[in-house]
Structure 1
Amino acid sequence: MCRVRSKLDHTAAIRENRRAAVVVNTKSRRGRKHFSEVVRLIREAGFSPLGVFPVDDPRRLRDRLDEALGLGPDLLIVGGGDGTLSSSIKHIAHRDVALGVLPLGTTNNFARSLGLPLTRQGAVRVFTEGKVADIDLGLCGDRPFANLASFGVSVEVAGTVKPWLKRLAGRAAYPLTALTILPGHTPFRAFITVEGRRHELLTHQLNIANGRFHGGWQIASDISIDNRNLVAYQLGSGKRLRLLGETFLRATTGKWRSLAGGPFVVGKEMLLETDPPMAADIDGEVRLMTPLVIKTVPNGVRVMVPQGFVDT
């Protein structure tokens, strides 16, 4: 692990030296459309980027991030959605470089959890007027994640949602797609063990959150991406009609109200078992299978945040 500067020194270096590298996912519609604009805004903010790396093939993202980090920036500016940003976080975890977030996705859960402006101008302004903060990472098995590990309907939604629907409906595309899948979906049983206590539930969907937002909407007001805890919660119960009602409510109003009731499960480390074994959707990547140990990594990654962000 490399030597890491204090947050104050790191913030000062970014403001004074403006050493930044820029990586933008231009495969996405918004990234492609706004690429020239965001580079212009970054230059107008006083940065002369050490390198600018458009990524039109997601398979090359890792290579482009390595090239950008090889230039030794104090600030790695990344433009894209939650999947792009989650991949970037894996590269800078525990390193002496801060992530600058340009939210160019559909839901922008990570940016929302940090309290970042969702406009391109506002996001760039944070690079010059904000501060460096150390936030928590989630760790699902051996895979770091910024925002959410989910199980159940969402795994099918991630592989089914149509790009045209995302363009047309924005963040509502996900619950709208879920409405088409739910009638034929089978509930599963999940067992969550936290601090020796085993919780059992029957549901169609289970989420374990590090951040505050899911699908672009707030999960709960007292959840934080920087409080050393994960929060597990179900969407609906094993009763399909309940989840259909809740999903329809979210798709049409943007608001969440659980008809199933029951408390959230909170803890620093969780053992998740499911019957049957299930795939995990980790910030948009479907890779691992249960059983899994999911935990927090305190102060795992550096980011630029607004001055008002509460950094613990």
Structure 2
Amino acid sequence: MGELRSKAEHTGVIQAGGKVCVVVNTRSRRGRRRYPEVARLLRQEGFEPIRIFPVVDPRRLRATLEEALEAGPDLLVVGGGDGTLSAAVKHVAHRDVALGVLPLGTTNNFVRSLGIPLDLAGAIRVFRTGKVADIDLGVAGDREFANLASFGVSVEVAGTVRHWLKRLLGRAAYPLTALTVLPGHRPFRAFLTVDGRRHELLTHQLNIANGRFHGGWQVAKDISIDNGRLVAYQLGSGKRLRLLVETLVRATTGRWRSLAGGPFVMGREMHLETDPPLAADIDGEVRLMTPITLRTVPNGLRVMVPADFVDS
């Protein structure tokens, strides 16, 4: 959508006090409680927002994002969960606007993938001390995504997990909900074609990641959100117990293997078929079905990141 400024020029404009708009989902787990602090902390760092939008009704989120962008900001600051940030990604992609993200969700996968501090003051400080970067996006069918496309038991978990449980336990609510869903879940067969090679597996859960984190835990110790590749991996196998054990090990230790040594398939484009056909959770939105083709869009999104972020 028009010509983009250089990253250095865009960074300079923002740090010199460029135009800032703020959108906060006050229905998110932490959004309502932390919303009053956002404007105060921005002003403390030298920013004076031209518009601030609290989103009380999530159905108004997309319209609110468009209204904020119509004000012509250099930096669009968005706070909420991964679903809120996913919607923001779709609106900001390919525009001459940098997305500034606030850690106001349960798992904050996108925030973690960018190396942004998980405390609100630290995240806002990045807008003054960090830089503008262009990162890759994933595309599933016709839907862009920043973090993850998932298939299998996690789709049922996302639709089952209770909001009160997320508020109470945070990211631990997801594996606990999986314990109730898994006994009745049937494994599926997946056929993944990458670079002309066809991979077949039987599993309860398949993930295809653009970002570095899933459920608040790192996918692999050397994965990147900006390397031009998607990373596909299964959790467990066709056996429920193996999926349960592997998920609990990851949740309690946070240890993930290297991409070079783990059970990962990587590529710029992947075609996925499943038996039976399955719903796809694309960054929290369940609207597509397999078969589906996924690919990367290099430098599809402009974001504000810490100064030490490796921008390729």
Q: TM-score range by the shorter chain?
A: over 0.9
Partner in structure 2 of residue 290 of structure 1: 290
Aligned residues: CA RMSD? 1.4
Matched, 1:54 2:49: no
- Residue 31 of structure 1: aligned partner: 31
- Cα displacement (A) at 1:112: 0.4
Inter-partner Cα distance in structure 2 for 1:29 and 1:291: 34
Does the 8 A contact of 2:149 with 2:209 survive in 1? yes
The CA distance in 1 between the partners of 2:76 and 2:251, in whole Å, is: 34
1:271–1:293 contact (8 Å) kept in structure 2:
yes
Q: Distance in 2 between matches of 1:262 and 1:30?
A: 35
Compute the displacement of 1:255 (Å): 4.4
Measure the CA separation in 1 of the matches of 2:204 and 2:161.
Answer: 18
Partner of 1:81: 81
What percent of counterpart residues are identical? 75
Instruction: Give the structure 2 partner of residue 248 of structure 1.
Output: 248
Confirm or deny: 8 A CA contact 2:115 2:306 kept in the other structure: yes
Counterpart Cα distance in 1 of 2:43 and 2:303: 20
Note the 1:135-146 alignment, pairs <5 A.
135-146=135-146
Unaligned runs of 5+ in 1: none
Uncovered stretches (5+) of structure 2, i.e. residues with no partner: none
TM-score computed with the length of structure 1 as normaliser: 0.97
Contact 1:149 1:209 in 2 (8 A): yes
1:266 matched residue in structure 2: 266
Q: Counterparts of 2:72 and 2:257 in 1: how far apart (Å)? A: 46
Q: Secondary structure at the match of 1:200?
A: strand
CA contact (8 A) 2:21 2:51 kept: yes
Letter in 1 for 2:69: L
Give the structure 1 partner of residue 207 of structure 2.
Answer: 207
Contact kept, 8 Å, 2:14 with 2:75, in 1: the verdict is yes
Is the contact between residue 179 and residue 247 of structure 1 (CA under 8 Å) also seen in structure 2? Answer: no
Amino acid at match of 2:121: Q
SS in 1 for 2:30: helix
Task: Quote the residue 1:302 is aligned against.
Answer: 302
1:32-55 per-residue CA deviation (whole Å, 9 max, x = no partner) reads: 111011111112211111100000
Q: Give 1:199's aligned amino acid.
A: H
Quote the residue 2:177 is aligned against: 177
Give the Cα separation in 2 of the matches to 1:234 and 1:178. Answer: 15
Question: How far, CA to CA, are the matches of 2:250 and 2:9 in structure 1?
Answer: 43
> What does residue 22 of structure 1 align with?
22
Q: What's 1:121 paired with?
A: 121
Deviation beyond 2 Å, 4+ runs, structure 1: 247-258
Q: Distance in 2 between matches of 1:262 and 1:275?
A: 24
- Does the 8 A contact of 1:246 with 1:256 survive in 2? no
**Amino acid aligned to 1:64:** T
Letter of the structure 2 residue corresponding to residue 42 of structure 1: L
Q: What's the CA shift for 1:253?
A: 4.3
Once the two structures are TM-superposed, the CA of residue 245 in structure 1 deviates from its matched residue by: 1.4
Structure 1 residue 163 displacement after superposition: 1.4
Contact 1:79 1:101 in 2 (8 A): yes
Q: Is the 8 A contact 2:140 2:292 kept in 1?
A: yes
Please report how far the alpha carbon of residue 252 of structure 1 lies from its aligned counterpart in structure 2 after TM superposition.
4.2
1:254 to partner: Cα distance: 4.4
Paired residue type of 1:54: P
Q: For residues 168 and 61 of structure 2, what CA distance do their matches in structure 1 show? A: 26
Report the Cα distance in structure 2 between the residues aligned to 1:26 and 1:18, rounded to whole angstroms.
25
Q: CA deviation at 1:167?
A: 1.8
TM-score by length of 2: 0.97
SS at structure 2 position matched to 1:193: strand
CA distance in 2, matches of 1:80, 1:216: 15
8 Å Cα contact 2:148/2:207 also seen in 1: yes
**Given that residues 18 and 46 in structure 1 are in contact (C-alpha distance below 8 angstroms), is that contact kept between their aligned partners in structure 2?**
no
Q: Which residue of 2 aligns with 1:152?
A: 152
